[in-house]
Chains A and B, each alone.
Chain A
């Protein structure tokens, strides 16, 4: 794994890394992938993948609390709010 590969993964994962972090992580992740690649030595069964012990856990799609009951508590945690909204930067238009 090269520095460019790590830089690409970091972009996908939305994490800005310094060059020294990229080099360090490239080394670690190469080692770890070397170790976990041992999984390739196991011959997998042809058995189709089973669903777990539980499936199709359903409930009625109905409101289960009063409108606005949690609004204030949730908005209070937001880094930037505007009235009843969480505010984010605009995503359309020219990039600065």
Chain B
């Protein structure tokens, strides 16, 4: 099921938004008790589907682009009147008082919201195991994680409970679950999509992006949700970065030094066969060196917790969210945050507090920001030579639930995805093959990284690579 297929049927009237939502509700009834992709399934969705169905009868192909398209939204994105929980006890009963800009734009395009999807608490994790509302299972293999933090969004699209979903990506949280569940996932150029109404994690890293069945669908959603927003001062203009031209065939860089160790042999085989196919299709493949990228993960696990410790300071039990009553105001704060936050969130807040504290600031945060600057320069230089960089999205396929209990081993799964967030460039994960694990074929994604504002180029290349053009 793709947006363009649905659109054709909706306009013809051979399959209506009501039919689509009815089929989706069947999938949710049959599978979501086990998969747990959704934190909330919206009970007003059928009314919207009926209205959309009626509008197609009168408006036909003049109807807005996403009219009646069933879309799932990660539960850290605000929809007025709906819960936005960030999968945390802290916000279990928080109802959004306004729409995120991305939601306003989707509503204008006619989208139908199926429900709010599960995630790692406050988007901190790579497996959706840290949700306060239970784990999400991978629809391809229920004994495995769907990836994270946008695991619910990836699982919803993979099991057919939405034609597309929105996620947020701070260090790979859209691309890695897309890779684990066998769907397309996109992290746009930093600043191309407004962060207004997203529950912030790392403000210099966060971007919202689509999870879809095809690259063309990801492009449709991205083009609708992107654009300058007066409510987010970091959103960019069309001319902020130089124009990135499209080409018939591309010169693709493979950072061999970065891909050296730690990659699963079967994932590596899928990646190599992708390179072979691209070469046969006329693209040029060259080796490039990006010596700083491997160190990027260390910089990420300094910058991100620092921003987390600052952004999550707002959850104090005073204005909204959980409130636990203590002896005095300070005690209210201490108890509210002790009971409201899960272990991973506490770990990152403390780590962030440490790296920002007097005496350590220069050697951690200051140094990490310098390294980020150097990584940007290194990428800019390599994009003078090549059009696109290619890596596996994740060094491993979906792992077993409970397999990575040590936080550091979980962090290492983000090695290939964090450089795009640290440097602000766009990156796209596309399903590229499968690996056999205990007789189950697990999806493996390949990541395409483009230069700043190279979003349109990534979609063009992605459609070629995925056989959509």
Q: Write the residues of chain A forming the contact surface with B, with a CB cutoff of 8 angstroms.
A: 6, 9-10, 12-17, 21, 25, 28-29, 31-33, 35-42, 44-45, 47, 49-50, 52-54, 57, 59, 70, 73-74, 77-80, 86, 88-91, 95-96
Min Cβ gap B326→A in Å is: 9
| B328 CB contacts on chain A under 8 angstroms | 89, 91, 95-96
A-B contact pairs, 17 of them (CB 8 A): A6-B350, A15-B346, A16-B337, A17-B346, A21-B343, A25-B350, A31-B406, A37-B298, A39-B371, A42-B371, A42-B374, A44-B374, A45-B374, A54-B236, A54-B240, A86-B319, A88-B329
Q: Write the residues of chain B forming the contact surface with A, with a CB cutoff of 8 angstroms.
A: 94-95, 97, 191, 230, 233-234, 236, 240-241, 292, 295, 298-299, 301-302, 309, 313, 316-323, 327-330, 332-335, 337-338, 341, 343, 346-347, 349-351, 353-355, 357, 363-364, 367-371, 373-374, 377, 406-408, 411, 424, 452
Q: Are B338 and A17 neighbours in the complex by a CB distance under 8 Å? A: yes
By beta carbon, the residue of chain A nearest B237 is: A54
Min Cβ gap A83→B in Å is: 16
Q: Are B363 and A40 neighbours in the complex by a CB distance under 8 Å? A: yes
In the complex, the 5 A-B pairs of residues with the closest C-beta atoms, listed nearest first: A79-B323, A77-B320, A57-B233, A16-B334, A16-B338
| B350 CB contacts on chain A under 8 angstroms | 6, 9-10, 13, 15, 25, 29
| A90 CB contacts on chain B under 8 angstroms | 329
By beta carbon, the residue of chain A nearest B328 is: A89
Min Cβ gap A11→B in Å is: 8
| B347 CB contacts on chain A under 8 angstroms | 25, 28-29, 32
Q: Which of A44, A57, A79 contacts B317 (CB 8 A)?
A: A79
Q: Are B367 and A39 neighbours in the complex by a CB distance under 8 Å? A: yes
**Given A17-B338, A39-B298, A39-B302 in contact, is the A9-B353 Cβ separation under 8 Å?**
yes
By beta carbon, the residue of chain A nearest B320 is: A77
| B367 CB contacts on chain A under 8 angstroms | 39-40, 42, 44
Q: Interface majority SS on A: helix, strand, loop or mixed?
A: loop
Min Cβ gap A34→B in Å is: 9
A49 CA to B234 CA, complexed, in Å:
18
By beta carbon, the residue of chain A nearest B369 is: A49
| A52 CB contacts on chain B under 8 angstroms | 234
Q: Which of B94, B323, B327 contacts A80 (CB 8 A)?
A: B323
Q: Are A35 and B298 neighbours in the complex by a CB distance under 8 Å? A: yes
By beta carbon, the residue of chain B nearest A12 is: B353
Q: Which of A9, A15, A36, A77 contacts B337 (CB 8 A)?
A: A15
A53 CA to B343 CA, complexed, in Å:
36
Q: Are A96 and B327 neighbours in the complex by a CB distance under 8 Å? A: yes
| B370 CB contacts on chain A under 8 angstroms | 44-45, 49
| B351 CB contacts on chain A under 8 angstroms | 29, 32-33
Q: Which of A6, A14, A49, A91 contacts B334 (CB 8 A)?
A: A14
Q: Which of B95, B230, B357, B369 contacts A59 (CB 8 A)?
A: B230
| A41 CB contacts on chain B under 8 angstroms | 295
**Given A25-B346, A32-B407 in contact, is the A88-B371 Cβ separation under 8 Å?**
no
Q: Are B354 and A29 neighbours in the complex by a CB distance under 8 Å? A: yes
A57 CA to B230 CA, complexed, in Å:
9
A2 CA to B334 CA, complexed, in Å:
21
A50 CA to B380 CA, complexed, in Å:
15
Q: Which of B97, B332, B353, B407 contacts A70 (CB 8 A)?
A: B97
Q: Are A53 and B240 neighbours in the complex by a CB distance under 8 Å? A: yes
| A13 CB contacts on chain B under 8 angstroms | 309, 337, 349-350, 353
**Given A39-B367, A79-B317 in contact, is the A54-B234 Cβ separation under 8 Å?**
yes
| A86 CB contacts on chain B under 8 angstroms | 318-319
Q: Are A12 and B337 neighbours in the complex by a CB distance under 8 Å? A: no
Min Cβ gap B451→A in Å is: 13
By beta carbon, the residue of chain B nearest A72 is: B97
| B363 CB contacts on chain A under 8 angstroms | 40
| A88 CB contacts on chain B under 8 angstroms | 318, 329, 332
| B357 CB contacts on chain A under 8 angstroms | 9, 12
| B377 CB contacts on chain A under 8 angstroms | 45
By beta carbon, the residue of chain B nearest A73 is: B97
Q: Are A49 and B373 neighbours in the complex by a CB distance under 8 Å? A: yes
| B330 CB contacts on chain A under 8 angstroms | 14
With A44-B370, A78-B318, A95-B328 given, can you name 7 additional A-B contacts, CB distance below 8 Å?
A: A13-B337, A36-B302, A39-B368, A44-B367, A49-B370, A50-B373, A77-B320
By beta carbon, the residue of chain B nearest A94 is: B328
A47 CA to B370 CA, complexed, in Å:
9
A79 CA to B370 CA, complexed, in Å:
42
Q: Are A9 and B230 neighbours in the complex by a CB distance under 8 Å? A: no
Min Cβ gap B353→A in Å is: 5
Min Cβ gap A6→B in Å is: 7
Q: Which of B292, B317, B408 contacts A31 (CB 8 A)?
A: B408
A49 CA to B374 CA, complexed, in Å:
10
**Given A42-B374, A96-B327 in contact, is the A32-B234 Cβ separation under 8 Å?**
no
